[in-house]
Amino acid sequence: MLELIPITLKEANGFVQQYHRHHKPSIGHKFSIGVQQGGKLVGVAICGRPVSRRLDDGYTLEVNRLCTDGTKNACSILYGAAHRAAKAMGYRRIITYILASEPGTSLKASGYVCEGTAGGIAWNGERRPKDEKQYPRELKRRWVKEIKEGNHYGS
């Protein structure tokens, strides 16, 4: 049985370092969530401010990293938990990005909706240039889940 657990950024980044196909650990976060099975950590979600300055309105949260060891349903449980935590904290929407080649099955199962292509083939900046081989050179798709206004407590 899968069980959600609190996790530090250091622990989540250690898992990302070991299991993520193409991302390095995250620099910062608002919070991280772990999921375990039989006492073994099988997945993590690292949630923080949107990377896009345009979307960083104070009411949007981004799942910056989501990584599992392949355990069935771990991704969907983490996306759902991130949404519930964001709702409890007063956020109005939660976003994440995946590669265009990824199907988004767990996101669909968790109620997220694809907004389409976002960003370029390579995301790079002068302050923090990326290693050319670090990330797959393909388009990304942004997925969003709106958080209903009103009673965020228990609804």
Domains of the chain: 2-146 (3.40.630.30)
Instruction: State yes or no: pLDDT of 53 exceeds 80.
Output: yes
Which pLDDT value is given to residue 27? 85
What b/e string do you get for 87-113 counting C-beta neighbours within 10 Å, with b at 16 or more?
Answer: beeebbbbbbbbeeeeebebbeebebe
pLDDT surpasses 70 at 122: no
Half-sphere exposure in the Cβ direction for 131 (13 Å, CA): 6
Using pLDDT thresholds of 50, 70 and 90, give the confidence band for residue 40. very high
Q: Check residues 119 and 92 and name the one with the higher pLDDT.
A: 92
* Contact call for residues 23 and 135 (beta carbons, < 8 A): yes
pLDDT for the residue numbered 126: 59
Q: How far apart are CA 133 and CA 130, in angstroms?
A: 8
Torsion over CA: 104, 108, 110, 113 (sign)? positive
**pLDDT per residue as tens digits for the range 3-38:** 999 999 999 999 998 887 666 777 889 999 999 999
